[in-house]
């Protein structure tokens, strides 16, 4: 792994509830400097990011149905449409994981297929957040199958607002069970280079983190190694 390949695996994220515009501008400049995979921000911040990142080649990602996933399919579709007009290249859609837990797989399947088709029609890359901390092992594999059947590019572990974030064993189980080319995104609680290395080794190809710059600095030796983290 090189510093460039590590940077290209990081979705530099600011989903803080109190983040001012100045922080979003700083996030964008940092992403352009380090060549992160994308910035991941709230929908209302997308127009600002599009202005700051114009001509940089850095992708803009935003969240849909966030953080609960308990929105109507029509509401999520409208968010996707507005995000594309505003300049978002990638959408991280929160699955209605409550419906999955209740066993209403038809509802989840119909919604994911519909939203995937809509976003792909806009040329957007789709990641589906399933909030693994609230799913058991069988439900996590069911979520993987539903995402594969919907044709999305990524399945993603967490919103960062649940009871826990990304787990190495959850990523490894998905990597072993996937049937095709779906990719895995780990997010939530990724604070150190050690966290990043472990999740990438388990099979993740994207990491969502609000600590992208510090993880990269740790890799290049321009910052001291951070203490290992446990859990979220």
92 is catalytic: yes
Residue 30: both structure tokens together: 């940092």
- Whether omega for the bond prior to residue 73 falls within 30 degrees of 0, making it cis, is no
Residues 6+ apart with CB under 8 A from 173: 137, 140, 141
- Choosing from 156, 167, 191, 195, the catalytic residue is 156
Compute the Cα dihedral for 82, 86, 90, 91 and give only its sign.
Answer: negative
Q: Phi and psi (nearest 5°) for 137? A: -60, -45
Q: Which of 59, 127, 167, 185 is catalytic?
A: 185
Exposed/middle/buried for residue 15 (C-beta within 10 Å: 0-12, 13-18, 19+): buried
Report the C-alpha gap between 209 and 190 in whole angstroms.
6
Catalytic, out of 11, 59, 76, 92: 92
Please give the structure tokens belonging to residue 98: 């409550």
Q: Which residues contact 39 (CB under 8 A, 6 or more apart)?
A: 11, 12, 13, 14, 24, 27, 28, 31, 49, 53, 58, 59, 60, 61
Residue 169 appears among annotated catalytic residues = no
Catalytic residue numbers? 92, 156, 185
């Amino acid at each position: 792994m090189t510093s460039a390949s590590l940077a290209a695996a990081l979705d530099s994220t600011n989903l803080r509830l109190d983040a001012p515009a100045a922080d979003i501008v700083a996030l964008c400049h940092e992403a352009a400097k380090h060549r992160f995979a994308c910035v991941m921000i709230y929908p209302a911040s997308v127009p600002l990011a599009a202005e700051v990142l114009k001509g940089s080649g850095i992708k803009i990602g935003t969240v849909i149905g966030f953080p609960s996933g308990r929105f109507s399919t029509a509401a999520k579709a409208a968010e996707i449409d507005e995000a594309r007009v505003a300049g978002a290249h990638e959408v991280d859609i929160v699955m209605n994981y409550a419906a999955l837990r209740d066993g209403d797989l038809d509802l989840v399947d119909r919604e994911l297929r519909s939203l995937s088709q809509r976003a792909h029609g806009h040329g957007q890359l789709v990641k589906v957040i399933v909030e693994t901390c609230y799913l058991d092992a069988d439900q996590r594999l069911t979520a993987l199958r539903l995402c594969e059947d919907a044709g999305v590019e990524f399945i993603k572990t967490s919103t960062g607002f649940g009871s826990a974030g990304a787990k190495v064993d959850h990523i490894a189980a998905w990597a072993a069970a996937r049937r095709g080319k779906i990719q895995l995104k780990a997010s939530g609680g990724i604070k150190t280079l050690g966290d990043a290395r472990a999740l990438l080794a388990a099979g993740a190809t994207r990491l969502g983190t609000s600590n992208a710059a510090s993880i990269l600095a740790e890799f290049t030796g321009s910052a001291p190694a951070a203490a290992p983290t446990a859990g979220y």
